[in-house]
Structure 1
């Protein structure tokens, strides 16, 4: 169900003249995921209940929405994202000092290439309650390169072989920030990070709380199954290792299937809105040393079931 929006979370202003729901046009981008919205401004959507409700409904249908020419302020960016729910900080990247919950993801000449984003992942699954979604705006991008790919993980689950669906029913898996962001830290820093964010445990197949879809819920943050070693699955040690690892790797690899994907080419003031519960994404890092600057508002989610 949509979360209640308090008046204090909405930027007090009037909807711009001439902008109405009837101006919104939807252009599908692939057969399985993604649509571009044309004729809408997210600053207006932050203040217009009907317009926001329409965008929210489209997000459930297409799982990731894209918009061009969104010359909005950071306050409007944050106000729109808050319509979905409270925002969250990132434990490593932090937030803009004037706009809590707005994370600056700036890759410039002073930044060494790193590889957190160019893996197929679902944001924050190392949290007990991973993010519901995010609103990402491009501030600066290379002329060529720096695209982002999103994947429909409900479709990935739907098209699994039936015997695999039976095998993974009831399985749970561990997700870790220590094994990803913590890997480049000193031992002491890494242990401190894990103490703040202990490994989370989630179902391998989660249920979307709004659409009821079944979703394959393993990604680059997933380290292992926690309840695989049962008499039904393990006759000898090799059934568990590498047997469980092979199954997990197979499941993770489903996000790489092109038929489940959409690829978005960024321009300045382009925006992506995605449902983090039913998608994964991959930020293509083919542009360094060119500059790429993004700003993301992540939305607090619920505990997967």
Structure 2
């Protein structure tokens, strides 16, 4: 009998000294993803620190910062140090800073972000990263999880890697955002934000890492499945595609690739949106959870 394959998460070097001397403290959150960054005030950082944070982000995929009492203007200015910022077409904005989206839930609004996703992968140019700050958090509940999709790809069986290497996936925001719109506004959305085709396996533009780039939130189907997969009858093709997508979606659910953050007010998370997915746990209703996020424009997946 063939032995079962074992997971081999990407190591962040938990048992080895840091190669780089950081201008801030670094405490690993898990062996595979995440680090808590200390001895830093994000409202006042110089350019060498910005570049060090960029390198840390590439290595750890998501960075956590505690006790960052910054204003919305400082939040926007911080994010802009890493690139141009997007203005989201549907989510509520901060009244003075359209680059900040506001997630506010309480006894009148239940959280709906509880699905694994990569922010705005439905755009032609998805985001490079997101910087999320807790303004008001429940004492218990409302955690967020991130998953290392580099590790998820690297641990796939070689036969699956070969199978998905040429595949393209369709990402579409309309099924989520379009249902809230009038027919006219829905047509405008589809005109302005048509579904996009991205590779199932993208390459990180800075590290060269291979990334499994499909997510349950926005990936609707595989664009070229019928051209690549043999089938006997049409139903074979449809069910085969759904089975493969479900298998790829499930890779995000492996705890070995994940990190979980318990929020406190003025906690900030900064994640590489190209190499991760995240999931906001909606277990806190009817408590108040108020978050603000700036999103940095990235590059077209290749």
For residue 114 of structure 1, report the CA deviation from its aligned partner.
Answer: 4.6
Map 1:163-174 to 2 at 5 A: 163-174=159-170
Map 1:193-204 to 2 at 5 A: 193-204=189-200
Which residue of structure 1 aligns with residue 299 of structure 2? 302
Of residues 41, 53, 56 in structure 2, which corresponds to 1:55?
53
Which residue of structure 1 aligns with residue 16 of structure 2? none
Which residue of structure 2 aligns with residue 278 of structure 1? 275
Contact preservation (8 Å) 1:178, 1:191: no
Please give the alpha-carbon distance, in whole angstroms, between the structure 1 residues aligned to 2:267 and 2:115: 22
Which residue of structure 2 aligns with residue 123 of structure 1? 119
Map 1:104-143 to 2 at 5 A: 104-110=102-108, 112-115=109-112, 117-143=113-139
Query: Does the alignment pair 1:75 with 2:104?
Result: no
Which segments of structure 1 move beyond 4 Å, counting only runs of 4 or more? none
Map 1:156-195 to 2 at 5 A: 156-195=152-191
- 2:250 counterpart SS class: helix
> How many residues matched?
281
Which residue of structure 1 aligns with residue 214 of structure 2? 218
Map 1:236-247 to 2 at 5 A: 236-247=233-244
Which residue of structure 1 aligns with residue 40 of structure 2? 40
Structure 1: runs of 5 or more not aligned:
1-20
Computed over aligned residues only, the root mean square deviation of the Cα atoms, in angstroms, reads 1.5
Which residue of structure 1 aligns with residue 64 of structure 2? 66
Contact preservation (8 Å) 2:23, 2:49: no
Query: Does the alignment pair 1:24 with 2:34?
Result: no
Which residue of structure 2 aligns with residue 259 of structure 1? 256
Of residues 273, 287, 293 in structure 2, which corresponds to 1:290?
287
Contact preservation (8 Å) 1:131, 1:299: yes
Query: Does the alignment pair 1:99 with 2:97?
Result: yes
Deviations 1:237-270 (A, max 9, x none): 2331110111011101110111110000000000
- 2:127 counterpart SS class: coil
TM-score (norm 2): 0.89
Please give the alpha-carbon distance, in whole angstroms, between the structure 2 residues aligned to 1:106 and 1:125: 22
For residue 225 of structure 1, report the CA deviation from its aligned partner.
Answer: 0.6
Which residue of structure 1 aligns with residue 4 of structure 2? none
Change in CA separation of 1:27 and 1:178 when aligned onto 2, cut-off 3 Å? same
